[in-house]
Structures are given as C-alpha cells and as structure tokens.
Amino acid sequence: MLNRKSELIASKLDVENILKDARKELKAPARRLFGKRILSLGGLMMLSGCNISDDKSVNTVLRTMSRFNDEAQAFLFDPNKLAPTYPESMITRPFPFNAFYDIDEVPVVDAATYKLTVGGLAKGKSVWTLEELRALPQESQVTRHICIEGWSAIGKWGGVRFADFLKRSGADITARYVAFHCADNYSTSIDMPTALHAQTLLTLTYDGQVLPPKYGFPMKLRMPTKLGYKNPKHIVAITVTNEYPGGYWENQGYNWFGGA
Ligand SMILES: Nc1nc2c(c(=O)[nH]1)N[C@H]1C(S)=C(S)[C@@H](COP(=O)(O)O)O[C@H]1N2
Ligand SMILES: [Mo]
C-alpha cells in the first residue's frame, strides 16, 4: 500500500502526530463505521487518495478526514433522537460566556431597529422583527451546551422551534444547508436534518429572561445536538442554500458537522 518512496518520505514526517490529528478528526461516528483499522498511515492514504509526502498533503489528508467525518456524522444522525434534558436545579450558574472576542466587546443590537432576514431558497416571509418572532409559539428546554475548548454547562433557553420558523419563512426544506450571519460578523452553517430537529430552537430568552447581550441578544440558535461553535448568537441573516457555506471556525479547520 505504501510504496518505497512515500515510505521514505513519510518516515521523515512526524507520523505519530499525523495519526493523532487524524484520530481527532475521525470522531466516534466515523470510527464506528470503519473500525479502528483505518487509522494507519496506509489507511489514511487510501481514504484520501493522497500520498503523505509533505506538509501540504498532510493538510489535504486531514481536511479529507474532516469531510469524511461530516458524511459519517450526517449518515448516523438520527433526526428523531433527542438530546438529554435536565431539571432546572442543574442549571450552571453563572452560565459561561464565550466568543471569539472578550466580553467587553459583545455587540450591541438595537431591539427597535433589529430585523432578521431570511434569504436564498425561501419564498415566504423574508423579514422578521423581534415583536413578530416573540408572537410565534414559544417553548423552552434545559440542555447541555458543550464547547470544544473543554467546558460544558447546562442552561435554559426559550424560543421558537426552528422547523416552525423555517416553514413560516417558506424555506425549501429539501435544501442541504442553512447558513447564519451574525451581528459580530460570526458565521456558521448547519445541515437541514439538524435544522428541522425538534430541539433546534431559535431562542429569544435565557433562564426565563430576554436573552442578555453576552448570550446573544436578540437571539441564539440553540441546538443540543451540536457543539457550541455551531450555535450562532446575534443572528441577523439566515440563508437556505445548496452551496456549502462554511463558517468562522469551520473555515479555520473545525469539523463542519460538529455533532455533540
Ligand atoms: N455570534 C457568535 N456566536 C457564537 C460565538 C461567537 O463568537 N459569535 N461563539 C460560539 C462558541 S465557540 C460558543 S462556545 C458559544 C458560547 O455561547 P455563550 O456565550 O452563550 O456561552 O457561542 C457560539 N456562538
Ligand atoms: Mo465554543
């Protein structure tokens, strides 16, 4: 499987570290599909159709792994399986703040002039005010938020079921992606099955109060089935699309599916 030349070159690279990175990319769902055998240098090269002969091809391999991992996670995602919920007594207080900037740089969004736009493959209501969103049926859930930086916390969010919102916006629910653009220029995107999941909420409240600025005023898309970075705060624009939208962290190498 490894020819002599690439064997020689691979031996010059830090093989153990490459495999460690690859293992990180190939998280549980993909491992379940393929077993552990794939996690050899030869297996990596087969999966990616790429000789690991320099840093550039190592990066290509890792990107391939991550995309493969997206496919495996999407394949194994069960749209009817609910993430755990918790009693209110288990809410983490204070709930942590996190963003790609410090808390004193949280964007100030003006409630009176705020508008949420829905674009792309959607032909229903395309501009929403906060009042209109508050007038839709609301529900709440106590779930665990897991951040890739190594912390998790339980919180209570309330808002509109995202599937309901998409329906009212006339979204084409056969499209592949829903993309989010935020007031702080953050962005992320999700797969349609997750967008339609019963616990995916367009949240307007935190712990029974209007969502405070640090937690994403005026809204955070809350998905207990996805890692923290997939949960956008301060959303201003939603796009339904078949073209891969990427995202702020995803474009820097975070796994796109980001299942929790
Ligand atoms: N607009 C925006 N949304 C964002 C982020 C961000 O920097 N900007 N960070 C993400 C990350 S990495 C995490 S862990 C959560 C943190 O949400 P919290 O401050 O409510 O705990 O927001 C996510 N959504
Ligand atoms: Mo995060």
Model confidence at 228: pLDDT above 60: yes
Q: Is the CB of 184 under 6 A from ligand 1?
A: yes
Confirm if 44 and 2 have CB atoms less than 8 A apart: no
Mutate to test the pocket of ligand 1, among 98, 157, 210 (most ligand atoms within 8 A of CB): 98
**What distance in angstroms lies between residue 215's CA and the mean position of ligand 2's atoms?**
12
Q: Tokens 């339609």: give the residue.
A: 196
DSSP-derived secondary structure letter, 94: S
Q: Which atom of ligand 1 is nearest to the CA of 214?
A: 19
Q: Judging by DSSP bridges, how do beta strands 116-120 and 235-241 pair with one another?
A: parallel
Using CB atoms within 10 A of its CB, is residue 181 exposed (0-12), middle (13-18) or buried (19+)? buried
Please calculate the CA angle 77-260-196 and round it to the nearest 5 degrees: 50
In the prediction, which pLDDT does 34 show?
A: 66
Higher-confidence residue: 3 or 200?
A: 200
Distances (CA, A) of 173 to 49, 82, 137, 189, 256: 33, 20, 20, 15, 20
Residue nearest to atom 10 of ligand 1 (CA): 229
CA distance 90 to 165: 29
DSSP-derived secondary structure letter, 233: B
The 3-state DSSP class for residue 152 equals strand
Confirm if 179 and 241 have CB atoms less than 8 A apart: yes
Task: Tell me the pLDDT tens digit for each residue of 16-54.
Answer: 788 888 777 776 677 766 666 567 778 778 777 788 788
Omega within 30 of 0 (cis) for the link into 245: no
Q: Which atom of ligand 1 is nearest to the CA of 96?
A: 21
**What distance in angstroms lies between residue 53's CA and the mean position of ligand 1's atoms?**
37
Model confidence at 92: pLDDT above 50: yes
Model confidence at 151: pLDDT above 80: yes
20 contacts: CB under 8 Å, gap ≥ 6: none
Cβ atoms < 10 Å from Cβ of 17: 10
Model confidence at 7: pLDDT above 60: no
Task: Tell me the pLDDT tens digit for each residue of 77-87.
Answer: 999 999 999 99
In the prediction, which pLDDT does 21 show?
A: 80
Model confidence at 2: pLDDT above 50: no
Determine what percent of the chain is predicted with pLDDT higher than 70: 91
CA distance 99 to 186: 9
Q: Tokens 């106590």: give the residue.
A: 142
Q: Is the CB of 182 under 6 A from ligand 1?
A: yes
Task: Tell me the pLDDT tens digit for each residue of 186-226.
Answer: 999 999 999 999 999 999 999 999 999 999 999 999 999 99
Task: Tell me the pLDDT tens digit for each residue of 122-132.
Answer: 999 999 999 99
Determine what percent of the chain is predicted with pLDDT higher than 90: 72
Confirm if 8 and 41 have CB atoms less than 8 A apart: no
Tell me the pLDDT of the chain averaged across its residues.
91
